[in-house]
Amino acid sequence: MKNLIKETEVKSIITKSKLPASDYCVNPYIGCLHACKYCYASFMKRFTVHDENWGDFVDVKVWKEIKNIDQYTGKSIFLGSVTDPYQPLEEKYERTKAFLEEIKNIDIELVISTKSDLILRDLPLLKMFRNLKVAWSINTLDENFKNDMDRAVSIERRIEAMKKFHEQGICTVCFISPIFPKITDVVSIIERCKDYCDFVWLENLNLRGVYKFRILNYIKKKFPQIYDTYDDIYRKKNMFFWQNLDSEISEYCKKNNFSYLKNNSSSKSHNGSPVVINYFYHEEIRKK
Ligand code: SF4
């Protein structure tokens, strides 16, 4: 199917963030051609006039020069909270690059989240940012499962990009998200990436809205042997799976002398080993 791409003027490219760990968010595109089946950002479609499915359209943002740019000094900005700033269109439109050019002289804390290796194009520019983290989402090492879930580049290309950034001294994150129960092998992913990342972030799969049914149907068809686990977690709201996984990872980190933190925004890595940070639903687990 042909994707619908159009340019749209916006008043401001920087918006106040609702994320706890950042002051502002920047999303140079509305929509995302990576079309992940579990995309938490698909609710954004409600704020557009598109009839196309999420993943089949993108509005390319065009903005006027950022006003009073010094007001962002010392602030934190998350680039790519509801889109991938390095989705394939970026090659042509360069809106993410344009934003980086505008803010490159401001002392900000910048976090970029992507599933792409197109970011390698901007490596020289990104080296100008003193307080930068680049996170690659990797929730499997199985390219078949990855292909079932998204249209982004292969896992191997993501890891290769992470490695190149790490070699250049840029702080890198292996973002294991979303963790699919009994499919995502967290320890194998950490083992594969541990030499190329400063942090490992862990996030559970959340299922809500239309994609809840899509994912549950997929599991029922493709992985019927583990469907009961999904039913337990996502219909009966049982938290045991996450508690057990938390204990397993904690044990693994202890054995390997990795720091293991929970819901912590620590920005320092230790002893050259990655710091593993768990962002599971800890409030709920504590309550239970
Ligand atoms: S890369 Fe992120 S924003 Fe894009 S479709 Fe996937 S989950 Fe959604």
Query: What's the rounded mean pLDDT across residues 39-45?
Result: 81
In which band, very low, low, confident or very high, does the pLDDT at 286 lie, cut at 50, 70 and 90?
Answer: very low
**Ligand 1 contacts CB of residue 35 (under 6 A):** yes
Which pLDDT value is given to residue 282?
A: 55
Number of residues that this document lists for the chain: 288
Ramachandran area for residue 143 (φ above 0: left; ψ -120 to 50: alpha; else beta): alpha
Bridge-partner residues for 261, per DSSP? Answer: 277
pTM: predicted TM-score of the whole model, two decimal places: 0.94
CA 261 to chain CA centroid, Å, is: 19
Residue with tokens 């938390």: 246
Sorted by where each begins, the domain ranges of the chain are 4-205
Which pLDDT value is given to residue 288?
A: 46
Atom of ligand 1 nearest to the CA of 35: 5
For residue 63, the one-letter residue type is W
Coil, helix or strand at residue 92: helix
Mutation pick for ligand 1 pocket among 84, 153, 211 (CB with most ligand atoms within 8 Å):
84
Q: Which residue's CA is the nearest one to ligand 1's atom 6?
A: 36
CA-CA-CA-CA torsion for 250, 269, 121, 138, nearest 10 degrees? 0
CATH number for 4-205 (one of 3.40.1710.10, 1.20.810.10, 1.10.3720.10, 3.20.20.70): it is: 3.20.20.70
Indicate whether 124 pLDDT > 80.
Answer: yes
Atom of ligand 1 nearest to the CA of 32: 4
**Number of Cβ atoms within 10 Å of the Cβ of 120:** 15
Indicate whether 79 pLDDT > 60.
Answer: yes
- As given in the structure block, the two tokens for residue 189 are 């992913």
DSSP letter for 270, please.
B
Of 114, 108, 111, 146, which is closest to residue 29 (Cα–Cα)?
A: 114
In which band, very low, low, confident or very high, does the pLDDT at 1 lie, cut at 50, 70 and 90?
Answer: low
**Relative orientation angle of helices 227-234 and 240-256, to the nearest 10 degrees:** 110
**Ligand 1 contacts CB of residue 110 (under 6 A):** no
Summarize pLDDT for 182-230 with one digit per residue, the tens: 999 999 999 999 999 999 999 999 998 889 999 999 999 999 999 999 9
**Ligand 1 contacts CB of residue 103 (under 6 A):** no
In which band, very low, low, confident or very high, does the pLDDT at 269 lie, cut at 50, 70 and 90?
Answer: low
